[in-house]
């Protein structure tokens, strides 16, 4: 294989506990987003659009769907002869195998993979961020600054800065200190979890870190502080634009809703920076005479006979007559029956909801922080079910509820 200027390593290993039931059977980067995308599409498209043609996707949690979804990489133009996209799970060396122990360890276990391409730079990315960024500009900046590492930062409100890893920099944006969630932040430059390293430098730090039993093998907690304390040159690269970590249900929901703003906060319509995704080959969507759709995103293959307000309707969704969808995300291939109300909810893939249901109704007259309701993948909600606001329900729970009901009925009979 030829030498590559820069290859990207995308950390997609996390289980994403904070996405609740959504990631019960699904790796976080494979969670649907914005009607026809999955979260990982944004990072992969950024790579392609930035001219980075070799991407390793590090994954160990339920990678099947992600693996199938990425396939040969063709949708993102990453089906390259020399390079392209590789899904990299943990593997056995000799008699032993070990799972990835942290972000840095995941890269460290794949040193051999990276060395094949003999890259000058390595770009470390997260698989659960929604943004558009030209990495080639960041690499250019890294090169100009003769940096050992460069970290992309976004300026947050100072009062929010205590929730982030904060970079304290000098005038030239060189980082002299890194503080993880500081109580009294000195700066508002929050790390976006996007790093450029000189590969040879990073490699040495990874090998040293691996031998350190006390380390958590994490970039933010271990590698960067260690590099700083050794006087390495680390610069902050300021990013301006939309960026959202969709690691929680709330932020995932909010980021979807941001797409409905007009003029857009986050514009997907830019032809020079297309977001690629695997196409399902579905027909155009259909809006019936009985439908009423306002402030919505509607994707291919769906059919709408009911009312949709301020919601995301994904590919292959069916919404029957007299139903009302409000402030919700309906994920691919969900089917909603007649005369059903869905509000402030996330309805996961392939959910079926019967007729006359009420899901997540907001109490009248109260305007406060939205409390989300989540129906998990493949769940079948029977007719006339009421799911109260804030609940998370999946098919297994439904079975439990059903069993319970049967038991109650039996006991009732027995009595």
Partner 1 sequence: MKELLGVIDASENHIQLKEITKNRSIAAVPIGSRYRIIDFALSNMVNSGIQDVGIITQNHYNSLLTHLGPGKDWDLNRKRGGLFIFPPYGGSDSQGWYRGSVDALHSIMRFIRRSEQEYVLVSGTYMVFSFTYHDVLKYHIDNEADITILYKEKKGMTPDEFKQNTLIKVNDCGRVVDMEINPSLPRFNNIYMNTFIIGKDLLDYLLDECQSRGESDFVKDILLRKLSSLKIYGYKFNGYLACINSINAYYRYNMDLLNSDIREELFIKSGPVHTRVMDVVPAMYSENACVKNCIVADGCIIDGNVENSILFRGVKIYKGAKIKNSIIMQDSEVHENAILENVILDKEVIIRRSKNLIGQEIYPVVISKGAVI
User: Which residues make up the interface to partner 1 (CB under 8 A)?
Assistant: 2, 34-36, 51, 74-75, 77, 80-82, 260, 262, 268-269, 274-277, 279, 281-289, 291-300, 303, 308
Minimum distance from residue 295 beta carbon to partner 1 (Å) = 5
Among 92, 213, 367, 412, binds a second copy (CB under 8 A): 92
Rounded distance between C-alpha atoms, residue 155 and residue 30, angstroms = 28
Minimum distance from residue 1 beta carbon to a second copy (Å) = 8
Minimum distance from residue 8 beta carbon to partner 1 (Å) = 17
CB 374 within 8 A of CB 345: yes
Near a second copy by CB under 8 A, which window of 95-103, 199-207, 215-223, 400-408? 95-103
Nearer to partner 1, 261 or 403 (CB): 261
**Closest to 130 measured CA to CA, from 64, 32, 219:** 32
Count the residues of the shown chain that bind a second copy, applying the rule CB under 8 A: 34
When CB distances are held under 5 to 8 angstroms depending on the partner's kind, the choice from partner 1, a second copy, none that residue 379 binds is none
Neighbours of 53 (CB within 10 A): 22
- Distances in whole angstroms, Cα of residue 12 to Cα of each of 30, 44, 147, 247, 406: 9, 12, 26, 12, 41
Q: Give every CB contact of residue 104 below 8 A, 6+ residues apart in sequence.
A: 206, 209, 215, 217, 218, 219, 222, 223
Q: Give every CB contact of residue 344 below 8 A, 6+ residues apart in sequence.
A: 326, 327, 328, 360, 362, 370, 371, 372, 373, 389
- Contact string (CB under 8 A) for a second copy, positions 154-173, x = contact: --------------------
Please, which of residues 72-91 interact with a second copy by CB under 8 A? Answer: 72-74, 79-81, 84, 86-91
Burial of 242 (0-12, 13-18, 19+ CB in 10 A): middle
Half-sphere exposure of 291 (CA within 13 A, CB side): 18
CB 73 within 8 A of CB 84: yes
When CB distances are held under 5 to 8 angstroms depending on the partner's kind, the choice from partner 1, a second copy, none that residue 34 binds is partner 1
When CB distances are held under 5 to 8 angstroms depending on the partner's kind, the choice from partner 1, a second copy, none that residue 86 binds is a second copy
16 contributes a contact to a second copy by CB under 8 A: no
* Residue ranges that bind a second copy, judged by CB under 8 A: 1, 15, 59-64, 67-68, 71-74, 79-81, 84, 86-95, 97, 99, 110, 112-113, 116
């Amino acid at each position: 294989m030829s030498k590559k200027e820069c290859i990207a390593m995308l950390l997609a290993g996390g289980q994403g506990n904070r996405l609740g039931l959504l990631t019960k059977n699904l790796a976080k980067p494979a969670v649907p987003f914005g009607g026809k995308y999955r979260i990982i599409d944004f990072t992969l498209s950024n790579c392609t659009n930035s001219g980075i043609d070799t991407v390793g996707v590090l994954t160990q949690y339920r990678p099947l769907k992600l693996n199938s979804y990425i396939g040969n990489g063709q949708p993102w133009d990453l089906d390259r002869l020399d390079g392209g996209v590789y899904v990299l799970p943990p593997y056995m060396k000799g008699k032993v195998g070990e799972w990835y122990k942290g972000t840095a360890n995941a890269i460290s276990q794949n040193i051999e993979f990276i060395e094949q391409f003999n890259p000058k730079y390595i770009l470390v990315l997260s698989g659960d961020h929604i943004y558009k960024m030209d990495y080639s500009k960041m690499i250019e900046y890294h090169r100009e600054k003769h940096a050992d590492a460069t970290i992309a930062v976004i300026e947050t409100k100072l009062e929010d800065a205590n929730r982030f890893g904060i970079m304290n920099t000098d005038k030239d944006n060189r980082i002299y200190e890194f503080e993880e969630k500081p109580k009294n932040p000195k700066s508002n430059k929050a790390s976006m979890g996007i790093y450029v390293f000189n590969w040879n430098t990073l490699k040495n730090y990874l090998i040293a870190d691996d031998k350190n039993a006390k380390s958590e093998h994490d970039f933010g907690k271990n590698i960067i502080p260690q590099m700083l304390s050794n006087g390495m040159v680390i610069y902050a690269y300021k990013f301006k634009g939309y960026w959202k970590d969709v690691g929680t249900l709330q932020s995932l929901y909010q980021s979807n809703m941001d797409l409905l703003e007009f003029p857009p906060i986050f514009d997907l319509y830019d032809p020079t920076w297309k977001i690629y995704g695997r196409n399902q080959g579905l027909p155009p969507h259909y809006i019936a005479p009985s439908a009423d759709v306002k402030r919505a995103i509607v994707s291919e293959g769906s059919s709408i006979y009911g009312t949709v307000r301020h919601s995301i309707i994904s590919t292959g969704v069916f919404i029957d007559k007299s139903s009302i969808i409000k402030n919700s995300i309906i994920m691919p291939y969900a089917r909603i029956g007649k005369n059903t109300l869905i509000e402030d909810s996330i309805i996961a893939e392939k959910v079926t909801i019967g007729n006359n249901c009420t899901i997540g109704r907001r109490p009248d007259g109260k305007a406060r922080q939205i409390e989300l309701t989540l129906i998990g993948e493949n769940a079948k909600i029977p007719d006339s079910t009421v799911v109260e606001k804030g609940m998370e329900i999946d098919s297994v729970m439904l079975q439990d509820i059903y069993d319970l009901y049967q038991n109650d009925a039996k006991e009732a009979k027995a009595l």
